[in-house]
């Protein structure tokens, strides 16, 4: 079952602007991951943040994690048209569990 | 990280028939996972497949409808049985990746008519 909610469900911004997406979850986690999906294809792993980490950077991506609020945010800086995609957060609780996905944010970058 | 080859990439099937989806991994992995993504929705875990044991199904998914095979550490199949239009979805396999993120196949887009 889906663990969390993401907001906004859809986001449209101009190229060059920053895009922020939020994710909330319900149970304790081992780590939280963000994925990108282009046009209903396979998912591409973007970044993983562990439960004992608060912030992580990778290129134009910045992820924060607040375990007290059970929430995370993904910031994409200096957006590009190629960033147009759906973005999903996914939580991992540990052991032999698979990932539990949020509902996703559909991001559109206007050229 | 592992690379997964998933096929078919898409198929259109008649109701009442079955479709088997295959995932081949380029390295040995202990666990593989199967997900369903209904149109416009997020991913829902169907089952976890360990080599040498029966797959573990999530609530709402049963083996008779979604039988899974895991004959070795690099291969798995998911069969969607006795299909109905409600089974029209994208089906994805993935490997474990606790420390570096999971790797996903490219997905199978299934349309049942």
Nearest residue to B84 via CA among B61, B106, B67, B65: B65
Query: Radius of gyration over alpha carbons of chain B, in Å?
Result: 13
Per-residue pLDDT tens digits for B56-78 = 999 999 999 999 999 999 999 99
Per-residue pLDDT tens digits for B10-55 = 999 999 999 999 999 999 998 999 999 999 899 999 999 988 888 9
**DSSP assignment string, A82-108:** GG-EEEEEEEE-STT---EE---EEEE
Residue A1 pLDDT grade (very low, low, confident, very high; cuts 50, 70, 90): very low
The yes-or-no verdict on residue A81 having pLDDT over 50 is yes
Inform me whether the C-beta atom of residue A88 falls under 8 Å from chain B C-beta atoms.
yes
Q: Residue A36, SS3?
A: strand
Inform me whether the C-beta atom of residue B1 falls under 8 Å from chain A C-beta atoms.
yes
Which of A2, A41, A99 has the CB atom closest to B102's CB atom? A99
Q: What is the mean pLDDT of chain B?
A: 94
Residue A72 contacts residue A23 (beta carbons within 8 Å): yes
The yes-or-no verdict on residue A37 having pLDDT over 90 is yes
pLDDT for A3: 58
Strand-pair partners of B44: B36
Q: Provide the terminal-to-terminal Cα distance of chain A, rounded to the nearest Å.
A: 36
Query: What is the Cα–Cα distance from B58 to B78, expressed in whole angstroms?
Result: 14
**DSSP assignment string, B83-111:** --GGG-EEEEEEE--TTT--EE---EEEE
Total Cβ atoms within 10 A of residue A78: 11
The answer to whether the CB atoms of B45 and A102 lie below 8 A apart is: no
pLDDT for A4: 64
Task: Report how far apart, in Å, the C-alpha atoms of A79 and of each of A3, A15, A58, A107, B64 are.
Answer: 28, 5, 14, 10, 45
The answer to whether the CB atoms of A96 and B50 lie below 8 A apart is: yes
Q: What is the mean pLDDT of chain A?
A: 92
Chain A residues touching B102 at Cβ < 8 A: 33, 43, 45, 90, 99
Q: What is the mean pLDDT of residues A18-46?
A: 92
């Amino acid at each position: 079952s889906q663990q969390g909610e993401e907001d906004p469900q859809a986001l449209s911004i101009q190229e060059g602007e920053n895009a922020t997406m939020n994710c909330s979850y319900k149970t304790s986690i081992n780590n939280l991951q963000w994925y990108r999906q282009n046009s209903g294809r396979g998912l591409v792993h973007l970044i993983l943040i562990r439960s004992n980490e608060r912030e992580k950077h990778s290129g134009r991506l910045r992820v924060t994690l607040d375990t007290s609020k059970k929430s995370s945010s993904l910031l994409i800086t200096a957006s590009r048209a190629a960033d147009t995609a759906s973005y999903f957060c996914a939580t991992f609780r540990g052991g032999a569990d698979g990932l539990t996905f949020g509902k996703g944010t559909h991001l559109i970058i206007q050229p | 990280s592992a690379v997964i080859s998933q096929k078919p990439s898409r198929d259109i099937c008649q109701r009442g028939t079955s479709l088997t989806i295959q995932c081949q991994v380029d390295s040995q992995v202990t666990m593989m996972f199967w997900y369903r993504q209904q149109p416009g929705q997020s991913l829902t875990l169907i089952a976890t497949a360990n080599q040498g044991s029966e797959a573990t199904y999530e609530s709402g998914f049963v083996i008779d409808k979604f039988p899974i095979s895991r004959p070795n550490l690099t291969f798995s199949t998911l069969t969607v049985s006795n299909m109905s239009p409600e089974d029209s979805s994208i089906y994805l396999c993935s490997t474990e990746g606790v420390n570096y993120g999971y790797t996903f196949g490219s997905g199978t887009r299934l349309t049942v008519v």
